[in-house]
Structure 1
Amino acid sequence: MTQRPGLGIALILFMSACFATMDTTVKFVGALVPVLVVLWARYGVQAAVMALWLARSSRRGGAGFRSAHPRFQAVRGVLLLASSTFGFFGLQYLPVAEFTAITMLTPVMVTLLAATLLHEHVSRRRWLLVGGGLTGALIVIRPGSGLFGWAALLPIAGSMAYASFQVLTRKLASLESPFTTHFYTGLTGSLIVALALLASEVELLPALRAAPHSAWGLLLFIGVLGTAGHLMLVLAFGLAPTAVLMPVMYAQIGFAALVGWLVFAHAPDAWGWLGMAVVAVCGAGSAWLNVREAAAARAPVSALGADTIID
């Protein structure tokens, strides 16, 4: 694919707007329908859209539905679903901008997991960035201030789940078509959530009937935003170098603050802005080191292996 950095940056900005809008919509619609129903819609729409995509591409000689590593697909789907579950529940208690900043800890979480689980060497600069990112999150959360309480642990847990997802993807993403992988991610998530709905006291159809009709459209909107955001990510990494795109992804914090203010009239205070800035700088720095080391090793960083949060 021809390199077009300007278009790649535009797609990343669109992706950031999609995810920020999706998170805000999740927070809003979560007050109208159970969060399990929101999760089911999120992954069900992705599975349906990608199934149509693969069915069309397979007729043209594309990868289609065949997966050479189904266990990889299943584990990857479970990890991403875990990240979304923590995130969707966390959004019911935290403002969108602060929530987004905490989830942007993923690059530093990847560093921690790579050091502890994969026994990779971690340089002093990386440890400084890890410490800086965690410090920024603490500034946002301010333990003991009574602002967020235990709910702040939810996006942190989501970041850990997504970091595990990234470590796995970093090793195996090149083995599968990204479009096939996106289908199985949606399918895995929707099947697991459907089983959770059956085991829980939440009844899908009564919950939908009890919700206002506008909530139905918002559930579809959430699924479309999540699916579109992922596709924009894949396309962007085929158009521009990773080093160009990675810092742009932190625009999601700005979009989250803007959309959260428009919908909920919430704006972070001065300490919140400071903490978000620290997280963004440390996360972008950690991601930049990942890119530079991958380039030095002549190992391309795929779109699915980018150390950023994916809802």
Structure 2
Amino acid sequence: MTKPPHRPAPSAQARWWGSGIAFAVLAMASLSFSDATSQWVLLSVSPVMVLWFRYAVQALGTTLVLGPLRGRAMWRAHSLRWQLLRGLLMVSCSLLAFYCLQRMPVAEFTATVMLTPLVLTALARFVMKEQVSPLRWLMVLGGLMGAMLVIRPGGQVDSSVGWMALTVVLTYAVFQAVTSHMTRTEDPAVMQLYTGWVGWAVSTLLVLNAWVTPQSGQEWVLLLLVGLAATLGQYLLIVAFSKAPASVVSPFLYTGVGFSTLLGWWLFDHIPDALALTGMGLVVLCGVVSGRTQGARKP
């Protein structure tokens, strides 16, 4: 008679999931720091320059970590075309994000980007033909209403830049869908490696006619911090989802709104107005409820 598969005790499972939650919160803190630092350095450096440094750090850092461990095997990918597509989507998303951060506060930008899981719901229904419950559709509508309060005409955010932020959301949602598809056959570390080098290659082409050597040590440090924080945040997210189910981790990704609001106040003395705060809260609430609903219906 075969023994049933070992299952961790509830207390051990709680600790395991707790570590996933902790890594998710640390990831959002790191990514929020990267965005806030980007906004600071964009006061004196062009978005294309910031983009180049962001991906140069990821490409070099990932290679230095994986190289001694895997050698040439670190380049082994199941589908090179999907790797290139993922990299192009990510670098496009990053460039749009930097242009947005030049023109809108980091807290409002982060809250708008948090629409991504809700947009993925629509992609799941119309592209991947998954069933979506009426409650989750209601959460999508609520999240969009919240975003409209954040980027409304006459508010603290230029509405033209707000629409650009929604383009970031759509691009990032497609990126997440591609990532979800690729994880069935691809190694996450290899995906990070290819994304870094594709991003570096594209940004190098863009920066050839726009390169301006940073004029101060502070600019060099800030540019390196942008790349380090973004790379660390992406890595911590992978660790978080490896330690706990998405339904457990996802609600804690919305802590990024809090971190970004705090950093925006600390660095730029900016506090969102009442309607923007209401919209940000609505986006977070709808995202958390949608994530919990999706997790509850899985076996």
Normalising by the residue count of structure 1, what TM-score does the alignment of the two structures yield? 0.87
The answer (yes or no) to whether the contact 1:66–1:180 under 8 Å persists in 2 is yes
The answer (yes or no) to whether the contact 1:63–1:180 under 8 Å persists in 2 is no
Which residue is equivalent to 1:236?
A: 240
Query: Residues 211-264 of structure 1: CA distance to partner in whole angstroms, max 9, x if unpaired?
Result: 322111111111100110011111122222322211111000000000110000
Q: Say which of 163, 178, 181 aligns to 1:168.
A: 178
Q: Say which of 217, 220, 237 aligns to 2:224.
A: 220
Distance 2:139 2:80 in 1: 35
Alignment of structure 1 residues 141-180 onto 2, 5 Å? 141-145=151-155, 147-180=157-190
Distance 1:193 1:147 in 2: 27
Which residue is equivalent to 1:305?
A: none
Note if 1:100 corresponds to 2:110: yes
Give the Å deviation of 1:123.
2.2
Which residue is equivalent to 2:77?
A: 67
Distance 1:146 1:55 in 2: 46
Which residue is equivalent to 1:301?
A: none
Alignment of structure 1 residues 1-311 onto 2, 5 Å? 4-58=16-70, 64-145=74-155, 147-198=157-208, 201-202=209-210, 204=211, 207-209=212-214, 211-293=215-297, 295-296=298-299
Task: Say which SS state the counterpart of residue 183 (structure 2) adopts.
Answer: helix
Give the Å deviation of 1:121.
3.1
Query: Residues 265-288 of structure 1: CA distance to partner in whole angstroms, max 9, x if unpaired?
Result: 101122111111100011122233
Distance 1:145 1:32 in 2: 25
The answer (yes or no) to whether the contact 1:85–1:158 under 8 Å persists in 2 is no
Judging changes above 3 Å, is the alpha-carbon distance between structure 1 residues 90 and 147 closer, same or farther for their aligned structure 2 residues? closer
Runs of at least 5 residues in structure 2 that lack an aligned partner in the other structure: 1-7
Judging changes above 3 Å, is the alpha-carbon distance between structure 1 residues 157 and 254 closer, same or farther for their aligned structure 2 residues? same
Percent same amino acid at aligned positions? 37
Distance 1:285 1:186 in 2: 33
Give the Å deviation of 1:144.
4.4
The answer (yes or no) to whether the contact 2:47–2:99 under 8 Å persists in 1 is yes
Task: Say which SS state the counterpart of residue 142 (structure 1) adopts.
Answer: coil
Distance 2:43 2:94 in 1: 17
The answer (yes or no) to whether the contact 1:54–1:65 under 8 Å persists in 2 is no
Judging changes above 3 Å, is the alpha-carbon distance between structure 1 residues 146 and 224 closer, same or farther for their aligned structure 2 residues? closer
Give the Å deviation of 1:145.
4.2
Runs of at least 5 residues in structure 1 that lack an aligned partner in the other structure: 297-311
Distance 1:101 1:146 in 2: 14
The count of corresponding residues between Structure 1 and Structure 2 is 287
The answer (yes or no) to whether the contact 1:137–1:276 under 8 Å persists in 2 is yes
Bigger Cα Rg: 2
Give the Å deviation of 1:114.
2.5
Give the Å deviation of 1:146.
6.8
The one-letter amino acid paired with 1:238 is S
The answer (yes or no) to whether the contact 1:208–1:216 under 8 Å persists in 2 is no
The answer (yes or no) to whether the contact 2:36–2:106 under 8 Å persists in 1 is yes
